[in-house]
Chain A
Amino acid sequence: MTLLHGLRVVVFADGLTDLGARMLSGLGANVVLAGETGERTPAQGQAWLSDLREAGPGEALATLLDGADIFLDGRRRRAAATDDPRDGRPRLIHVVANADNLRDLPVTDLTLMAASGLMTVIGEPDRPPLRLPGEQAYALTGIQVATAALMGLAARRRTGQGQRIDVSAVQSATLANYREAVMYAWTGRSGRRKGNLLVRGKSGVRQVWPCADGHVTWSMIDNPGMMRAVVAKMAEQGMAGELADVAWDAILVADTDQDVIERWQGLVAAFFAAHDKATLGRWSLDEGWGLSPIATLDEVRNSAHLAARGFWREVPDGQGGTTRLPGPLFLVHPAPGAASEEAAE
């Protein structure tokens, strides 16, 4: 992808800036890794930094910045970072990834997730709060870092000037929590961990179901067309029971008593348990059920859909082999520059 071809980016990587640098590189920018702090596993290094060109021994940060459009500055424990890279470089867009824009806090992905409020609703009611897989607070901050850089670039096109942009990791993580603060502000209720139960209105519905060879996700929600489609297939298989007689347009699942929901869900559970992920997934795709097979990482790697979209790339693993990692961030049609090339032919 070459939307940003020719753009020169320097990054000091520390976790908070990593995905941002990877994204700009994936969009065609020339991204140079000037330094890094924090310890990464080999897999983290491969996932986030392997696309970047490492600065050579003679390439001091100041020299790199002289030729740069953007500096992604992740010197998270930044006692030494008192210089202003924009001195003498007024067009430079200096994106600083801070733990917090109020003060210099020691943070990690885990503590940022705790501050976001998300952990309180992730996991089981009888166990401690849980984070999302991977390092999502770092990832969310990284995407905001890329966004900030592109915002700065758009502004520079108009003004001719760069600027300093401070991105807050605490705010980036908290922004992902789109439900809890607003629900408390307007209802006085704070969410808690409910396992795989989705609670809406007076009832809770399951989100995860065992099937013949794994799990699928689907919920009994107020979408009459979807409910009719699922129940029609259950009836075809002789497994609909009392669900065949429910007038889905006339009821609200969210207002239905929990014991009735449990009875209905028992029928659905038996139906799903009798079929495998591939069959249920195919029916869902064909008939609009909104059901998804829950894929393992290996199944994601081997997804025919993602392969057809050219999603994967093979990245050297440093031991003579390769690792299959995500490639394009999104698809672009026509490819950048295609129209002008066509005109030239």
Chain B
Amino acid sequence: MGALDGIRIADFSWVGAGPRATKDLADNGAQVIKIESRKRLDLGRRSPPFANGDAKNPDASAFFAQTNTSKWSATINLSDPRGVEVAKRLVEWADVVVENFGPGYMERIGLGYPVLAAINPGIILASVSVAGRTGPMAGFRGYGNSAAAHSGHAAMSGWPASDPHMPPFAYGDVVAPMFLTVAILSALESRARTGEGCHVDVSQIEPMVHVIADLFAADATEKPGNSDPRMAPHGVYPCAGRDAWIAIAAETEADWQSLCDVLGAGAMATDRSFATREARLRNATALDAEIAALTAAQDRHDLAGRLTAAGVPAAAVLDGRDLAESADLHASGHFVSVDHPVLGPSDMPAPPMRMSATPHAVGPSPCLGQHNEAVFRDILGMEAREIEALAAEGVLA
């Protein structure tokens, strides 16, 4: 039994920002029907890496697979008015409709919130877009990295006194869907009390501002890099091997003493320049150099193990290989093996929580249109002849 058993989601979203939220819901028991089309393929299905390098197979993308676990797929061509009429029947069935189309698209095809609410008064429409559905920038077309630019993230990323930095992943496509999940769950809770649906409008920019609210409160003007105003040492130090590093933070005086013990840092431990936290913060550059000299020949995993055993916050800086092969991440249930008809048994990320009474269950992502019959015949009650005709005419495609 999942936490969200019985919740029905009509998911019109694609690529990353919407699908990551509906994955959260599907893995926890909600029935999520992904409405997509061969006529306008979800770009996630075209995103690498691909099983056997088969970029032309819409079911071979591992990126899509990990973003859409536990969902169903039905194909509806929304550019055909008859497709929109079928979609409206799914709206009648659903508790929640999710979309992340470009500005005005849902209204243009006749699926704006007033229409949805007329079909199903309790419906919750959940929208996520770069700038939100209102305001002077509501028509902005951009990407997850656009939100990093507009929120202050890009300006505050990178080393102090350097140009703005854009890492090679769209953090806005991570944070915004998490806010979307919270928005949907809180709207469902509100509806359970009032009987009323609503339209929740999540902008990618705003969650990105929320997660650096402390920098706004501090009126920060310089990039923090890896430093922290409360802790020294607090940084990343070299270890043995190519691009091998360890992160170490001394949060308390006890951490500092233990760090010196583990590193065998007799001189550093007694150096008056580092005797108090204030002194260490003041002399952070020299302190970092001392620690780097002591870590440089050590194995990052071994050192992290010894430091954490002594109570010092520390971790090897991991890369993609480390993550994929991590015994801990597999043992903790972060990665679960899921059998997929094209990818075969594959590791998929699971929700980062263990629910004692209603555990999650991660199933495979759907192949394109895999659940057409179950959706159109069993859920919507359409006749086989009608389904065949609409499919033949490219409406259910």
C-alpha gap A278/B163 in the complex (Å): 19
Which B residues have a C-beta under 8 Å from some C-beta of A?
Answer: 3-7, 16, 20, 24, 28, 48-51, 62-63, 66-67, 113, 131-137, 139-143, 145-146, 148-159, 162-169, 171, 173-175, 178-183, 185-190, 192-194, 196, 198-203, 205-207, 209-221, 223-226, 228-231, 234-238, 243, 245-249, 251, 255, 308, 311-324, 328-329, 331-335, 346-347, 349, 351-358
C-alpha gap A339/B123 in the complex (Å): 13
Query: Count of chain A residues with Cβ under 8 Å from any Cβ of B?
Result: 144
CB neighbours of B349 from chain A (8 A): 174-175, 181
C-alpha gap A125/B251 in the complex (Å): 28
CB neighbours of B320 from chain A (8 A): 117, 120, 179-181, 183-184, 189-191
B154 & A217 in contact (Cβ 8 Å cutoff): yes
CB neighbours of A19 from chain B (8 A): 210-211
CB neighbours of B175 from chain A (8 A): 139-140, 143
The proximity string for A residues 105-140 relative to B, scoring 1 for CB distances below 8 Å and 0 otherwise, is 111101111111111111110011111111110011
Q: Within the complex, what minimum Cβ distance (angstroms) separates A170 from chain B?
A: 7
CB neighbours of A183 from chain B (8 A): 48-49, 320
Binds B, one of A231-239, A255-263, A264-272, A294-302: A294-302
Main secondary structure of the interface of A (DSSP, over half): mixed
Q: Could you write out 15 A-B pairs with CB less than 8 Å apart?
A: A143-B175, A147-B181, A154-B189, A167-B352, A168-B352, A176-B174, A177-B323, A178-B173, A294-B155, A294-B164, A305-B135, A323-B217, A332-B200, A333-B198, A336-B190
Q: Identify B251's interface contact among A108, A159, A308, A336, CB under 8 A.
A: A108
A116 & B311 in contact (Cβ 8 Å cutoff): no
Given contacts A174-B329, A184-B323, A305-B131, contact A43 B217 (CB under 8 A): yes
B166 & A132 in contact (Cβ 8 Å cutoff): no
C-alpha gap A162/B329 in the complex (Å): 27
C-alpha gap A6/B193 in the complex (Å): 10
CB neighbours of A311 from chain B (8 A): 206, 209
C-alpha gap A106/B354 in the complex (Å): 20
A47 & B214 in contact (Cβ 8 Å cutoff): yes
Residue of B nearest to A7 (CB): B189
What would 15 more interface pairs be, CB under 8 Å, given A105-B308, A217-B164, A311-B206? Answer: A3-B187, A41-B218, A101-B354, A115-B316, A120-B319, A128-B235, A130-B158, A130-B226, A163-B358, A168-B353, A186-B50, A191-B320, A326-B209, A329-B182, A334-B196
B358 & A155 in contact (Cβ 8 Å cutoff): yes
Binds B, one of A54-62, A243-251, A285-293: A285-293
B156 & A133 in contact (Cβ 8 Å cutoff): yes
B355 & A108 in contact (Cβ 8 Å cutoff): no
A134 & B214 in contact (Cβ 8 Å cutoff): yes
CB neighbours of A296 from chain B (8 A): 152, 155
Which A residues have a C-beta under 8 Å from some C-beta of B?
Answer: 2-4, 6-7, 19, 22-23, 27, 38-39, 41-44, 46-48, 100-102, 105-108, 110-124, 127-136, 139-141, 143-144, 146-148, 150-155, 157-159, 161, 163-168, 170-172, 174-187, 189-192, 194-199, 207-208, 210, 215-217, 284-285, 288, 290, 292-297, 299-301, 303-306, 308-309, 311, 315, 323-326, 328-334, 336-340
Q: Within the complex, what minimum Cβ distance (angstroms) separates A316 from chain B?
A: 12
B200 & A152 in contact (Cβ 8 Å cutoff): no
CB neighbours of B226 from chain A (8 A): 110, 128, 130-131
Residue of B nearest to A115 (CB): B315
A102 & B331 in contact (Cβ 8 Å cutoff): yes
C-alpha gap A34/B138 in the complex (Å): 40
Q: Identify A285's interface contact among B140, B153, B163, B313, CB under 8 A.
A: B140
Q: Within the complex, what minimum Cβ distance (angstroms) separates A11 from chain B?
A: 16
CB neighbours of A115 from chain B (8 A): 315-316, 318
Q: Within the complex, what minimum Cβ distance (angstroms) separates B234 from chain A?
A: 6
Q: Within the complex, what minimum Cβ distance (angstroms) separates B194 from chain A?
A: 6
Q: Within the complex, what minimum Cβ distance (angstroms) separates A71 from chain B?
A: 14
Closest 10 CB pairs of A and B: A180-B320, A171-B352, A186-B49, A43-B218, A114-B247, A184-B320, A150-B185, A292-B149, A133-B156, A163-B357
CB neighbours of B324 from chain A (8 A): 181-182, 184-185
A101 & B214 in contact (Cβ 8 Å cutoff): no
CB neighbours of B188 from chain A (8 A): 154
A108 & B200 in contact (Cβ 8 Å cutoff): no
A144 & B353 in contact (Cβ 8 Å cutoff): yes
